[in-house]
Structure 1
Amino acid sequence: MPELPNLASFLLTALVLEITPGPNMAWLALLTATAGRVAGLAAVAGITLGLAVQAFLAALGVASAIAAWPELYTVLHLAGVGFLVWLAWESWRDAGNPAHHLPGGGETGSDGFNRGLISNLLNPKAAVFFVTVLPGFLTESADVSEALVLSAVYLAVATAVHGTIVGLAGGLRGSLADPAVSVRMHRVQAASLLAVAVWLFWRG
């Protein structure tokens, strides 16, 4: 088990990282506001599963290969950017579809889950976090189980933050009953996703 000071420090670090605005936060807020809490919570489940897979692979050493092999990191990074661009295009396209402005926004729980899962499986920065930042909080005699405990702490923090975002954004649904407002929200979501994709591409 991690030592208490290390655990407390890691908990604080994870919280700071998760409350920093990023792709998951913006996307979750917009998705929940347009499609409802069910789709938002499903997306949270997908995000959590994607991060859990990343953590498990890191424990097995795969993330080390990503960090050591720039070409692999670049491929995953570009795939993630491309996925965000595709989501932006889809949201812009849906703005012109009347079905997406009815209650539920034309989205389903499985849509949110799949997007959350894929976007985090294609997030190389998450893998690098588990192999570069997390080890700094391990004890000298740490084994795989200790790394997994810290990974579980990070997943719990991320899920709590994402769930809070869904809860807050869900309160905006009432204002989206007007189809015209929903159309604008889809346009905003598309522009936001595209902006995030450009930002991620620029950050490298």
Structure 2
Amino acid sequence: MSIEFLLTSLIVVVSPGTGVLYTLATGLSRGTRASIVAAFGCTLGIVPHIAAAITGLAAVLHTSALAFEILRYLGVAYLLWMAWRTLKEHGALTVDENLAPISASRTIVRGILLNVLNPKLSIFFFAFLPQFVSPTDPAVLSRMLTLSAVFMLMTFAVFVVYGAFAASMRRMVVSNPGVLVWMRRTFAGAFAALGAQLAFSARP
């Protein structure tokens, strides 16, 4: 496994996106344990995209305008819904020490949906993974599966760090209503901006 793959993967993983945003919001609102669950859900959301890239389904998505547009606008709708829920204090960033806990399964499903409903991830892996696999390698499938597993482990680890950092700031947020309002608006705006970016992005 090349250092180039590890460095490139790290850059991609630490870059702010929907998964990072969701994990940060969960850490702030629910604490460290919930942020780890959110990180796990976001990591699971990568699996369908990796599977699509390995099996070649991403090529269909890349060539089919209809398939791409359907998945893209489902993703846009979900991001805007997350923005609305966050802004209205019932979504990803509801900080209250007496707040009823959200089940781990629900947190995981939200994380999965955020990544599954992003068609660019399939195309990213379709273009990314082959760069580090030799076409003459007799075990291409095994090699791609190994690289994918490493990418997922790196994603989970980095997201856990993001979530732990956010959770460490939770006490300050809970005790300061002004900070809470600012954070809620910031996260809602970020979800909306990501949705807009996905809506107006052209097919590769």
Same fold at TM > 0.5: yes
1:51-200 pair list within 5 angstroms: 51-94=46-89, 100-103=94-97, 105-106=99-100, 108=102, 109-142=104-137, 143-178=140-175, 180=177, 181-200=179-198
Kindly, what percent of the aligned residue pairs are identical?
A: 28
Give the alignment's Cα RMSD to 1 decimal. Answer: 2.2
5+ residue gaps, structure 1: none
Q: Which runs of 4+ in 1 moved over 6 A?
A: none
Q: Which amino acid aligns with 1:195?
A: A
Provide the aligned length of Structure 1 versus Structure 2: 196
C-alpha distance 104-48 of structure 1, shift in aligned 2 (>3 A): farther
DSSP-derived class of the 2:46 partner: helix
Q: Distance in 1 between matches of 2:198 and 2:188?
A: 15
Letter in 2 for 1:173: R
Residue deviations 1:85-127, cap 9 Å, x none?
A: 011111122269xxx4422655523332111101111111111
Contact preservation (8 Å) 2:40, 2:108 = yes
Unaligned runs of 5+ in 2: none
2-side partners of 1:36 and 1:199: how far apart? 29
CA 1:163 to 1:104, structure 2 compared with 1: closer, same or farther past 3 Å?
farther
Whole-Å Cα distance in 2 between the matches of residues 139 and 30 of structure 1?
40
1:133 aligned counterpart, secondary structure: helix
8 A contact 1:95–1:183 mirrored in 2: no
2-side partners of 1:33 and 1:177: how far apart? 9
State the AA in 2 paired with 1:61. Answer: G
